[in-house]
Amino acid sequence: MRAVQVTEFGGPEVLVPVEVPDPVAGPGEVLIGVAHADTIFLETQLRAGWGQEFFPVRPPYVPGGGVTGVVRALGEGVERAWLGRRVAAFVTGSYAELAVAAVDALTVVPDGLDLLTAAALVHDGVTACGVVEQAGVGAGDRVLVLGASGGMGTLLVQLGRARGARVVAPVRTAAKAGLVRELGAHETVDLTGTDWPERARAALGGAADVVLDGVGGETGAAAFPLTADGGRFSAHGAPSGGFAPVDAEEAGRRGITLLGIQHVRFGPADLRRLTSAAFAEAAAGRLRPVIGEVFPLERAAAAHTAIESRGLLGKAVLRG
Ligand SMILES: NC(=O)c1ccc[n+]([C@@H]2O[C@H](COP(=O)([O-])OP(=O)(O)OC[C@H]3O[C@@H](n4cnc5c(N)ncnc54)[C@H](OP(=O)(O)O)[C@@H]3O)[C@@H](O)[C@H]2O)c1
């Protein structure tokens, strides 16, 4: 089969199309003909060699972890009913024509949802649903979303709004601000000026009950003081190069609940539950992943370049 490998740590050019033997479904597994594989920012960071302490990988490897497709073959002990089903799964190595998944890791894609849209929700939908659940976003909350223009952030904006929160998003460009407002943010704030935290506070109408930080670094650090006493601060993102450096003692003193990347690493049962929840919301028309461009598998390097250039309006998805 065709696949794309990270041949060594480096820039997008280390993503190289290769021919590898077809994988075979073992006991309790299925073989999926990949229709689409999602891409997430983390995959660009891992390709560059970042994050080994959280996500150890060694080249050469096939990157990616989320697919949608059709079950083509069954391993021993798997019910025949799975054959031909449209499914989504978390796998090891999704930049490929075929992927093997444990039957326990499959979620059926509902009839009302196409495989492209479903693929865009595999990671982002699960994490976004998990983040709003863990941060307890509810009606009347003032919610600040950092990274609102991204694959997961665009979903957090919609989920926050649907839960009745007041959603404010600091955003870098006018086009992305327009998108984020269209998706439900009450207000956006220009992130390029140093006074954005004061403007965000004014837009929120006070301190934030919940800060959902998908950016980290200095931006995340500047958002921490905006958190209300007794509020929640989720530091789940690090596209800036590091998670938000927050003072745990101060958080404790002020009664702020700190959540982090470890809170969005779910076990198989939660992954299936959250995937189904995201798919149900999308099938009902209440959640819309924003897809900026679909790249053929062999152009995975171009997909990574697009993610890193931060120019796409929406996420990059691969076609298997
Ligand atoms: N997707 C998931 O399921 C998942 C799971 C766990 C953790 N996370 C973490 O959440 C973060 C966002 O993930 P994503 O997949 O949604 O990524 P994404 O679609 O690429 O979005 C990245 C977001 O971060 C901003 N950003 C990108 N580079 C930046 C930089 N150098 N400095 C400041 N802001 C930057 C972008 O805003 P601009 O418009 O300004 O470019 C965009 O809003 C990542 O750190 C990721 O590791 C994601």
Query: Hey, CA dihedral for 268, 243, 129, 262, is it positive or negative?
Result: positive
> Measuring CA to CA, how many Å separate 12 from each of 16, 41, 45, 316?
9, 12, 10, 14
What value does the mean pLDDT take over residues 211-228? 98
Structure tokens at 250: 């101060």
Q: By the 8 A CB rule, do 143 and 208 touch? A: yes
Residue 305 Cα to ligand 1 midpoint, Å, equals 14
Residue 147 Cα to ligand 1 midpoint, Å, equals 6
**53: nearest Cα among 233, 263, 261:** 261
List CB contacts of 110: < 8 A, sequence separation 6 or more.
279, 280, 283
Counting ligand 1 atoms within 8 A of each CB, the residue from 132, 152, 219 with the most, and so the one to mutate, is: 152
Ligand 1 atom 10, closest CA: 237
Tens digits of per-residue pLDDT, 136-156? 999 999 999 999 999 999 999
**238: nearest Cα among 81, 44, 58:** 44
Reply yes or no on whether the pLDDT at 51 is more than 90. no
- List residues near ligand 1 (CB under 6 A): 40-42, 123-124, 127, 147, 149-153, 172, 176, 214-215, 219, 236-240, 261, 264, 307, 310, 315
Ligand 1 atom 20, closest CA: 41
Answer yes or no: same fold for 2-108+290-319 and 127-264: no
Q: Taking every pair of C-alpha atoms in the chain, what is the biggest distance, in angstroms?
A: 60
Ligand 1 atom 25, closest CA: 147
Q: By the 8 A CB rule, do 276 and 302 touch? A: no
Ligand 1 atom 32, closest CA: 240
C-alpha 274, offset from chain centre: 12
Reply yes or no on whether the pLDDT at 30 is more than 90. yes
pLDDT for position 226: 98
Reply yes or no on whether the pLDDT at 36 is more than 90. yes
Ligand 1 atom 17, closest CA: 41
Residue spans of the domains in the chain: they are: 2-108+290-319, 127-264
pLDDT for position 54: 81
Structure tokens at 234: 């989720």
Q: Helical H runs in the chain?
A: 41-47, 115-134, 151-162, 174-182, 196-204, 217-223, 248-253, 268-283, 300-309
Task: Domain 127-264: give its CATH superfamily.
Answer: NAD(P)-binding Rossmann-like Domain (3.40.50.720)
Fold that domain 2-108+290-319 belongs to in CATH: Quinone Oxidoreductase; Chain A, domain 1 (3.90.180)
Checking DSSP bridges between strand 29-38 and strand 66-74, what pairing results, if any?
antiparallel
